[in-house]
């Protein structure tokens, strides 16, 4: 049965004749589900699941459900999103072929609109690459619907972020979905704020990212609030000619992220002004609680020492993870760069740190 939904009145007609729901084909059923989510019709969503589950005997009677959750979140229909999550919907799941469907279905890209699911080979390799989760933080466009006319539903990104945050706080997302929603919100902020723009949408996304990171840090052992990929994704947002606002956000929220970038990206060590600025935002108290060795600490100390930044060099040299190897490397860098004040301080600091017994033995 073809579906040409153009307004909310269609749903009232559908609800008045429940038998029509049982007659929906596989693709039409997905289209009606998605439209009900976009318009916030919880009654329709519940009726669809009840009728099609009864008809098919399948708790997941739809060929694809992920985009429906996208639309519920994007349009800030929290009650609908909760209903879908209660049905165990995976935002990043690929389309599948239920037993009751006896027809040839379109390719996966027709349902996911060419976005990526967790099964895609390149998934999460480049945080800038879009996924289905990226669509939560986008506006509608004319070709988004599976069938019929465009949804044409107004979207307010701040409300979208509020709903995602409320559901995240309750631990309702699966681990990978949680991480990917964080990534998608951070990328949306990066694009909105790049170039120093004062963009309300970007700030709304950063507020959500802050909330998700705080939840992650408060529940490190619980996968419902993400895993180690949170730090990796945050560090991947620090790129050449990127968003300074996002760079600053990452350094404040995830201090270890800057060290990760310094260790693997030569361009940052060469951009002395940016590196010194970002290093100044780091809370070394939080770094001091991380286990040794601290990846990137040696490279950061060397860069700061070569730049002649004594204040910053002293802060990071005071970390318990800064051992002789890191300090001597920084001393060599300072000596090679001719930053004598930093070199003198590092030499004195090394003398203070030396073990008198070891000096006698050797």
Cα(273)–Cα(269) distance, integer angstroms: 9
Is the distance from CB of 327 to CB of 346 less than 8 angstroms?
A: yes
Residue 239: both structure tokens together: 């790129």
Cβ neighbours for 2, distance < 8 A, ≥ 6 positions apart: 28, 147
CA–CA dist 61, 25 (Å, integer): 11
**Contact yes or no for 139/20 (Cβ under 8 A):** no
If we measure between CA atoms, which residue out of 76, 16, 71, 73 comes closest to residue 43? 16
Q: Does 249 fall in a domain?
A: no
**73: enclosing H helix or E strand:** helix 66-74
Last residue of a domain, one of 147, 177, 200: 147
pLDDT in tens, 51-104: 999 989 999 999 999 999 999 999 999 999 999 999 999 999 999 988 888 888
pLDDT tens-digit series, residues 146-194: 988 888 788 999 999 999 999 999 999 999 999 999 999 999 999 999 8
Residue 245 inside a domain? The answer is no
Encoded tokens for 305: 């020492």
The domain tally of the chain equals: 3
pLDDT surpasses 90 at 357: no
| pTM of the model as a whole | 0.92
Domain match, 167 and 94 both: no
CA distance 66 to 47: 18
Q: Is 168 within a domain?
A: yes
Task: Single out the residue in 236, 265, 282 at which a domain terminates.
Answer: 236
Same domain, 266 and 284: yes
243 is a domain residue:
no
Structural domain harbouring 286: 254-354
């Amino acid at each position: 049965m073809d579906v040409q939904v153009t307004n909310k009145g269609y749903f009232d007609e559908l609800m008045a004749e429940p038998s029509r729901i049982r007659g929906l084909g596989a693709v039409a059923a997905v289209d009606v589900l998605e439209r009900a989510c976009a318009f916030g019709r919880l009654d329709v969503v519940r009726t669809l699941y009840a009728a099609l589950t009864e008809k098919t005997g399948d708790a997941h009677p739809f060929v694809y459900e992920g985009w429906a959750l996208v639309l519920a979140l994007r349009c800030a229909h929290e009650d609908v999103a909760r209903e879908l999550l209660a049905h165990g919907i995976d935002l990043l799941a690929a389309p599948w072929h239920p037993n009751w469907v006896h027809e040839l279905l379109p390719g996966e890209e027709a349902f996911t609109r060419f976005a990526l699911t967790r099964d895609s080979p390149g998934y999460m390799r480049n945080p800038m690459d879009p996924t289905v989760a990226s669509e939560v933080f986008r506006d509608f466009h004319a070709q988004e619907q599976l069938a019929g006319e465009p949804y044409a539903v107004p979207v307010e990104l701040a409300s979208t972020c509020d709903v995602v945050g409320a559901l995240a706080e309750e631990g309702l997302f699966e681990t990978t979905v949680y991480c990917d929603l964080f990534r998608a919100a951070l990328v949306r902020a990066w694009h909105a704020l790049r170039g120093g723009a004062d963009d309300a949408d970007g700030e709304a996304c950063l507020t959500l990212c802050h909330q998700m990171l705080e939840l992650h840090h408060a529940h490190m052992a619980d996968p419902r609030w993400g895993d180690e990929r949170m730090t990796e994704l945050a560090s991947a947002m620090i790129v050449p000619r990127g968003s300074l606002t996002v760079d600053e956000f990452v350094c404040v929220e995830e201090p270890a992220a800057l060290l990760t970038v310094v260790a693997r990206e030569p361009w940052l060590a060469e951009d002395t002004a940016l590196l010194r600025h970002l290093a100044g935002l780091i809370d070394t108290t939080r770094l001091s609680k991380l286990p040794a060795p601290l990846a990137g600490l040696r490279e950061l100390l060397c860069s700061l020492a070569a730049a002649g930044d004594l204040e910053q060099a002293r802060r990071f040299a005071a970390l318990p993870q800064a051992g002789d190897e890191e300090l001597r490397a920084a001393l060599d860098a300072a000596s090679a760069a001719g930053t004598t004040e930093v070199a003198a301080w590092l030499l004195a600091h090394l003398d203070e740190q030396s073990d008198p017994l070891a000096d006698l033995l050797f």
